[in-house]
Structure 1
Amino acid sequence: MASEVAVLGGGCFWCLEAVYQQLKGVQHVESGYTGGHVANPSYEQVCDGATGHAEVVAVTFDTDKISFRELLEIFFTIHDPTTLNRQGNDVGTQYRSAIYYQSQQQKKDAEQVIAEMANVWDAPIVTELTAAETYYKAEDYHQNYFRQHPLQGYCAFVVEPKVAKLRKIFFDKVIQ
């Protein structure tokens, strides 16, 4: 079994975490922060936008069961990669669309998927493609957030529709 890690930012990390936890071949998903200049930032610091960090998920996956390209195809389906520093009502650099590649192969795959997705979206893709930086795990209360709070307002109205979209479009990749 070969494992890799994908670090992705696409708005609030609760959305991405909930989606990637549903997939066959995904071994672990962790919410965290990366891309900024403050060591060990808190959620409050990241939310005020001054740290430069993005909310991200670190997805550990079995490359024999799901590829990095497949993770990216899902990524570009469940969030809007054409809105700079925002997803829906979540606005700020911490909500930017970003791929933090771990290897030159991940970079190459990401460049190819971005080029392919440019034909899908009506506006230019603004997803940041950057070499992996220091990653910081988010506070424990952010981990498994959707699983623990499915009826919370944000989860019901923002996270659940993304999970439903995943289950509809990528049914064959979802754990049943």
Structure 2
Amino acid sequence: MKYLSIIVLILFSLTDAEGQQKQLEKATFGNGCFWCSEAVFQRLAGVTKVRSGYEGGSIPNPTYDDVSSGLTGHAEVIEVTYDPKVLSYVELLNVFWKTHDPTTLNRQGADVGTQYRSVIFYHNDKQKALAEKYKNELNKTNAFGKPVVTAINKAQTFYVAEKYHQNYYNNNKNQPYCRAVIQPKLEKLEQVFKDKLKPAH
């Protein structure tokens, strides 16, 4: 009887874990250097995982050097796993559009090339509709003073970037790029989206 109870508890915990896993959703964004994007989205409450990678290109299993050449068609992107009960897709879109310049084609600051383009890779029809509606509203209201050029494309194969690109800012906070480019983005995030952030540790 004791062992039966243990088995029941294990099965219950597995079923519960699977149920929780199914409640999570994915969103994929390209908005410049993925080091910056990763650091921003990691700090949002409801986000359980962020992976840096490549998407939207023409060759399989691209390397960072391949993508950096600008010849593969891939964009630097982040794959965000999140709990929609805590953070909605619209809220993710809000953070996406307010933490980069979506009016510059194939460029974010000093980072230039198609690999740095502003792009949303949608995973289902609902995400597509919400992204298109939001983009249309931004352009209708002239929110940025210039047209939003963000591409909205169906999700393709996501290739995880090399290990040293993962969790980059947290592992390299004192690097010049992190201090000069990423830190100001995080400071802006704290000002604009303070109520959406994970508790500080």
Q: TM-score when scaled to structure 2?
A: 0.86
Correspondence 1:131 to 2:131: no
Which residue of the partner structure matches residue 30 of structure 2?
9
For residues 80 and 18 of structure 1, the distance between their equivalents in structure 2, rounded to whole angstroms, comes to: 17
1:121 is matched with which residue? 144
CA separation in 2, counterparts of 1:117 and 1:154? 30
How far apart are 1:113 and its partner, in Å? 1.4
Structure of larger gyration radius: 2
CA shift, 1:151, in A, is 1.1
Aligned to 1:106: 127
Question: For 1:76 and 1:56, how far apart are their aligned partners in 2?
Answer: 14
CA distance in structure 2 between the aligned counterparts of 1:162 and 1:116, rounded to whole angstroms: 24
2:195 pairs, out of 161, 172, 176, with 172
Mapping 1:25-44, distance limit 5 Å = 25-44=46-65
The answer (yes or no) to whether the contact 1:85–1:96 under 8 Å persists in 2 is yes
Q: Distance in 2 between matches of 1:148 and 1:113?
A: 34
From 145, 152, 160, the equivalent of 2:183 is 160
* Residues 127-153 of structure 1 deviation map (CA, whole Å, 9 limit, x = unaligned): 000000011000000000000001111
Offset of residue 112 of structure 1? 1.5
Give the fraction of aligned pairs with identical amino acids, expressed as a percent.
Answer: 51
CA drift of 1:115 comes to 1.8
Q: Distance in 1 between matches of 2:25 and 2:130?
A: 14
Report the counterpart of residue 165 of structure 2 in structure 1.
142
Give per-residue Cα distances to partners, 1:90-125, cap 9 Å, x unaligned: 000000000000000000110111122222111100
Higher strand share: 1
Distance in 2 (alpha carbons) for counterparts of 1:140 and 1:170: 29
1:69 aligns with 2:81: no
Deviating above 3 A after TM superposition, structure 1's stretches of 4 or more consecutive aligned residues are none
Q: Which residue of 1 aligns with 2:10?
A: none
Q: Secondary structure at the match of 1:146?
A: helix
Q: Unaligned stretches of 5+ in structure 1?
A: none
Assess if the C-alpha contact under 8 Å between 1:37 and 1:52 holds in 2.
yes
Listed one character per residue, the Cα deviations across residues 28-50 of structure 1 (whole Å, up to 9, x for unaligned) are: 00000000001000001100101
Structure with the bigger percentage of helix:
2
Q: Compare 118-127 and 71-80 and name the one that shifted more.
A: 118-127
Structure 2 unaligned regions, length at least 5: 1-19
- Taking the TM superposition and a 5 Å limit, the aligned residue runs for 1:75-86 are 75-86=96-107
Distance of 1:56 and 1:110 partners within structure 2: 16
TM-score by length of 1: 0.98
